[in-house]
Structure 1
C-alpha cells in the first residue's frame, strides 16, 4: 500500500510540474479573462459531467461565496445543479444539449463560459461552448488528453498534460483555485 501511495503522489507531482511548465502563460490569460469579466459585471457559467460537474460547482461556489479573503460576491453559476432543468432538457432534447440550452437562456455577450471535460470530447460540454461563442461569450476549456474536440471550440483551452482522469481533475481544481486567488487579489 505504501508503494501505491508514493506512486500516486509522485504522479501528481509530475503532472503538476508539467502543467506549470507548459501552461503557466495560458493559465495567466484565463485568470485575466475571468477578472475582466468580473470587473465588467458579467458572470461566469461553468459546467461538466461527473467529477467535472462537481468541480464546476466548487469553483462557482468560491465566486459567489468567497475563496479566502472577504470580498463582494461575484456572479457565477454552475449549470450542473438544477436537476429540473437538466432532466427536462435531457428528456426533451437529449442529454447532449443540457448545457447548450442553459447557456442559451442564461448567457449574455461578455460572460465567460468554462467547460470542463477530462477527455475534451464530451458532446454536452462542447455544445455548451459552441452556444457560448455564438452569443459573444469568451469560451474557456479545462481538459486533458490533448484537448480533444474542445480545442476547436475554446478561446483558451487549458489542456492538462496527462491521460489519467484523476490527475487531470486534480489539476482542474488547482487551476480553479488559482483563478479564485487572482480574483481575491483584485476584488
Structure 2
C-alpha cells in the first residue's frame, strides 16, 4: 500500500470512530451496566461470534478470566468458540447453526449475560444462541454493524456500529469490548 491508501484507511477508521462517539455513547453505557451488573451478581459472561468476531469473543473472555488492566480476581468470561470437540460434534450432529445455542443451553443460567457478535447481525448460529439465551432468561447483548440485522429483534440491546465495512465494524467492536472490560475493572478498587 502507498501512503495515500494508508492515510485513507486511517481516515475511514477515524470517521467511523467519530460516528460511534456521536451516536453510541448511550448504548455503550447501557452495555457497561449490563456486564457490570452481571459480574456484581456473581453471574458469568458467555460470548460467541464467527471468524474475526470469534477472535473478538475470545479476546474479551480472556480479558475477563485473566485480567484487563487491573490485577483483580479472575472473572467468569467464557468464549463459546474455543472447544473444537464441542464445535465439531454439535455441527456434525445438529448443524453448524446450533454450535453456540447448544452451549448456551449447557452453560447458561438466569442472570448470566450472552454477548453475540456479528458484523451483519444475521449470523444464523448467533441468532439461534440469542433465542436460547432468551428462553433461559439470560441477559442479551449484541455487537453488530450495518442496520443491526435480525439481531435487533432478538437481544435486549444491540450496539450497532454505523458502518457497512466489516473491518471498521470489527475495529469498533474490540474498542467497545475494551470499554466493557474497563467498566468491569472499575468494579475493583
Consecutive unaligned residues in structure 1, runs of 5 or more: none
Match of 1:43 in 2: 44
Equivalent residue pairs, number: 187
Q: In the aligned structure 1, how far is the partner of 2:80 from the partner of 2:90?
A: 12
State the Cα distance separating 1:122 from its structure 2 match: 0.2
Q: How does 1:140-159 map to 2 (within 5 A)?
A: 140-159=141-160
Match of 1:22 in 2: 23
Match of 2:66 in 1: 65
Q: In the aligned structure 1, how far is the partner of 2:186 from the partner of 2:106?
A: 31
Moved over 6 A (4+): none
Larger helix percent: 1
Q: In the aligned structure 2, how far is the partner of 1:129 from the partner of 1:43?
A: 16
State the Cα distance separating 1:182 from its structure 2 match: 1.0
TM-score, normalization by structure 2: 0.98
Q: In the aligned structure 2, how far is the partner of 1:27 from the partner of 1:93?
A: 35
State the Cα distance separating 1:138 from its structure 2 match: 0.6
State the Cα distance separating 1:16 from its structure 2 match: 0.6
Q: Secondary structure, in 3 states, of the residue corresponding to 1:120?
A: coil
RMSD: 0.5
Match of 2:122 in 1: 121
Q: How does 1:96-111 map to 2 (within 5 A)?
A: 96-111=97-112
Corresponding position: 1:137 with 2:138 = yes
List per-residue Cα deviations over 1:9-36 (Å, max 9, x = no partner). Answer: 0000110110111110010000011000
Q: Secondary structure, in 3 states, of the residue corresponding to 1:186?
A: coil
Match of 1:9 in 2: 10
Q: Secondary structure, in 3 states, of the residue corresponding to 2:116?
A: strand
TM-score, normalization by structure 1: 0.99
